[in-house]
Structure 1
Amino acid sequence: MSATNQSRTLLLMRHAKSGYPDGVADHDRPLADRGNREAPLAGEWIRAHAPEVEAVLCSTATRTRQTLAKTGIEAPTEFLDELYDATPGTVLAAINGVGDDVRTLLVVGHEPTTSSLALGLAGPGGDPDAAAEIAAKFPTSAIAVLHTDIRWADLELGGATLVAFHVAR
């Protein structure tokens, strides 16, 4: 693994609460009223507690796109089909493709992948309470915050420090 002198922040966010309208495919499910209320709160928390987001990777599912839009976070965004119904390894591969110029990256995805990836990336020395909360449940609109000094291309399991976990409510 190559280290750099520059710290990077990875924000792993689960989409906001979605609805279950009849006859709508899972990929196309929209946000529920609660999700429409909570996604802006998640955006406010990110702006108050993390460095400015410089890039976003987002699943193509309707609920993830709507979540990102409702956060009010504006950064160059890649909407990736492979982030829908992804494994943690698929999401990590997408993160590994982010350029070195990006210091703060937001990934908007789904469960159970988001919690598995957050816990998998978390190496020693992180916040044990945050890890316990993530292990118990990664609710909708929740955000795991990880720091690393490793280039995105070289990030692997255990290569980051879990520093916070927040559920926007």
Structure 2
Amino acid sequence: MQEVDEADVRWLVLLRHAKSAWPDGVDDQERPLAPRGRRDAPAAGRWLRDVGRVPDLAICSPARRTRETWELAARELGPAVPPGSPEHVVGGLGPAVPPGSPEPAAEEFGAAAPPGSPEPAAEEFGAAAPPVSYEPRLYAATAPALIDVVRETPAALGTLLLIGHNPGMQELTLRLAGDAVGDALERAEAKFPTSAIAVLAWHGTWSQLAPGRARLVRFAVPRGAKR
């Protein structure tokens, strides 16, 4: 795998909120997670931790179901792998991989968030939880609107997580992915269910993000076990 300067790679992680409930008389923005969603959201956090995609910053829609998804996922992220440790692998995005091939090993290119900006997640999630910003533009956002949000990411950050809604999350994935690992793009196009996660990467800066520029490295739908 071709080695690159870790500052040259940006990772964008898109998480659709977990399964929500539809209580009578409740405004759409106030709909809570359903029991299945409360199982799946922590599974999404564990998946991000296990593949080394703990974000430097999370930007979340202010809707209740997205906020609850983030809160439950954040508790499972655990400590990020620090650059320079034996687990920290610096690598390139690699050549195209034929459909059906196994996904590449996770690499961590994250950088620490600069002092100053979005407030950290709630205290009970522990010191390891990344900062989160609740951004009204993510609610019912179109793909172009989401790209505008992503382009505003501080240059020092390596990995950004967006927690939002469909169809925006699916549309953004399909618009940004110029190619993909294995059948990830086909699966994301066929269905982007609740708790789905798309991981995109590209060489360049956040402000340079444009349609077709990124590679869809992973697509997963973590599910929590029924108790």
Q: Same fold (TM over 0.5)?
A: yes
Matched, 1:127 2:129: no
* Contact 2:7–2:158 (8 Å) recurs in 1: no
In structure 1, C-alpha distance between the alignment counterparts of 2:155 and 2:202, rounded to whole Å: 13
Query: Which amino acid letter does the alignment assign opposite residue 24 of structure 1?
Result: V
Q: How many residues align structurally?
A: 165
Give the number of the structure whose residues are more often strand, by fraction.
Answer: 1
SS of the aligned residue for 1:119 comes to helix
Residue 45 (structure 1) aligns with: 47
Cα shift readout 1:33-66 (whole Å, capped 9, x = no counterpart): 0000000000000011133310011101000000
In structure 1, C-alpha distance between the alignment counterparts of 2:142 and 2:19, rounded to whole Å: 21
Query: Which amino acid letter does the alignment assign opposite residue 27 of structure 1?
Result: Q
Structure 2 regions of 5+ residues with no counterpart?
1-5, 78-128
Matched, 1:96 2:98: no
Cα shift readout 1:93-150 (whole Å, capped 9, x = no counterpart): 00000011110110000001101100110013x2251111111110101100111112
Change (3 A) 1:5 1:53: closer
Residue 198 (structure 2) aligns with: 144
TM-score (ref. length: structure 2): 0.70
Query: Which amino acid letter does the alignment assign opposite residue 65 of structure 2?
Result: R
Which aligned runs of 4 or more in structure 1 are off by greater than 3 angstroms? none
SS of the aligned residue for 2:148 comes to helix
In structure 1, C-alpha distance between the alignment counterparts of 2:63 and 2:146, rounded to whole Å: 15
TM-score (ref. length: structure 1): 0.94
* Contact 2:16–2:164 (8 Å) recurs in 1: yes
* Contact 1:84–1:110 (8 Å) recurs in 2: yes
* Contact 1:19–1:29 (8 Å) recurs in 2: yes
* Contact 1:13–1:106 (8 Å) recurs in 2: yes
* Contact 2:63–2:139 (8 Å) recurs in 1: yes
Q: In structure 1, which of residues 3, 28, 31 is the aligned counterpart of residue 30 of structure 2?
A: 28
Give the number of the structure whose residues are more often helix, by fraction.
Answer: 1
Query: Which amino acid letter does the alignment assign opposite residue 45 of structure 2?
Result: G
Larger radius of gyration: 2
